A = this chain, B = another copy of it.
Amino acid sequence: MKIEVKLKDKSYFVHIDELEKIELDTKVVVVTNPTVSAFHLDTLLSKIDALECHVVTVPDGEKYKNFETINQILDECFLHRLDRKSVLIALGGGVIGDMTGFTASIYQRGIEFIQIPTTLLSAVDASVGGKTGINNKYGKNLVGSFWQPSAVYCETAFLKTLPKREFSAGMAEMIKMAVTFDRSFFEWLENNSLHVEANLQYALRECIKIKADVVSQDEREQGVRAVLNYGHTFAHVIENETKYSKYLHGEAVAIGIVMANELAFELGLLSLEDKKRVNLLLKKYDLPVEYKINNIEKFYDAFFLDKKSFNHKIKFILAKGIGGYIMKDDIEKSLIFKVLGNFS
């Protein structure tokens, strides 16, 4: 099946289990890492029919999502003299997708790229919607661009080799979407196991439909798209504090969801029962729901580097019941401190 991401300039399809052949009358560079490459590169290469096909393997991990690796990918493009019609293919998780997309957006002022996610997290979230970028010492994804892929291929076969922990991390993004946009999907997630293949395909489709719909409405995140950052305002600070090494992104998001829900609960937006249901669903997939904040002032201060904070206002995305959301940028500092205090 396929889901269209409708955009003003350029629409494209997210294909679920439809990868037969990629035919391109151009040069191609596949970007991947050693972990993914060992499992899936041969399969992918057997499906690519291009003028030339090269592979660049970059180090695996969030900490390599930086300018140095971008330069490594760029060098490969220059080495093989890719032109403006050439295509990059991202084979990997969110890190590979973000860096490949960013490179595609700046190589010769922009070339096409295709996303082939190999993690659940990137399949349901990162691969769709054209957010690209890298991290730096100031925080996550602070440098990047909006650059849409020309196609996305999600293959459940590629997700089977995922370590359990990585799979769970992807679940955090699924739960994020269910809590803010779709109560019945949330209930479905409570009652079904994603370890059944047909269920996984169904859940992928539901999430990608939500994501595609949100991105179509608001490509550049000037409105509703920010809701997808539910949990992320906290998660980015957590990832930064723990130097991107202790938690996978999805794990940090899980903690971020718990924190955001604590705030929503204090504001009377989320009932105690709903808050508990979300925690329970996160735990069902062995996601972390606790975190120890050592320095509340410092944690609070780090919010202001978030891209959604304007002029000393932090924008929080909060659940309004399960299946609803609200954006607030006028929450009292004292209340935020109180909530952060619950984690210290």
Which residues of A pack against B, CB within 8 Å? 8-9, 26-27, 51, 67, 71, 74, 78, 81, 83-85, 102, 105-110, 131-133, 136, 138, 141-146, 220, 304-305, 307-311
Main secondary structure of the interface of A (DSSP, over half): mixed
User: How many Å lie between the Cα of A27 and that of B51 in the bound state?
Assistant: 47
- Contact partner of A311 among B51, B105, B131, B144, CB < 8 A? B51
A83 with B145: in contact, given A67-B67, A109-B131, A131-B109 (CB under 8 Å)? Answer: no
Asked if residues A83 and B146 are in contact (CB atoms below 8 Å), the reply is no
Asked if residues B307 and A109 are in contact (CB atoms below 8 Å), the reply is yes
Count of identical protomers in the assembly: 2
- The distance from the CB of A307 to the nearest CB of chain B, in whole angstroms, is 5
- Contact partner of A78 among B84, B142, B309, CB < 8 A? B142
Q: Which 3 pairs from chain A and chain B are nearest by CB?
A: A78-B138, A108-B307, A83-B310
User: How many Å lie between the Cα of A71 and that of B26 in the bound state?
Assistant: 32
Residue of B whose beta carbon sits closest to that of A313: B83
Residue of B whose beta carbon sits closest to that of A146: B109
CB-CB under 8 A from A108, the residues of chain B are 142-144, 307
A85 with B311: in contact, given A133-B109, A305-B78 (CB under 8 Å)? Answer: yes
Asked if residues A143 and B106 are in contact (CB atoms below 8 Å), the reply is yes
- Contact partner of A307 among B84, B136, B304, CB < 8 A? B84
Asked if residues B131 and A81 are in contact (CB atoms below 8 Å), the reply is no
Q: List 20 A-B contacts (CB under 8 A).
A: A9-B9, A51-B311, A67-B71, A74-B143, A83-B307, A83-B309, A83-B310, A83-B311, A85-B310, A85-B311, A102-B106, A106-B106, A106-B143, A106-B145, A107-B142, A107-B143, A108-B142, A109-B132, A109-B144, A110-B146
CB-CB under 8 A from A131, the residues of chain B are 109
CB-CB under 8 A from A51, the residues of chain B are 311
Asked if residues A26 and B110 are in contact (CB atoms below 8 Å), the reply is no
Residue of B whose beta carbon sits closest to that of A108: B307
CB-CB under 8 A from A133, the residues of chain B are 109
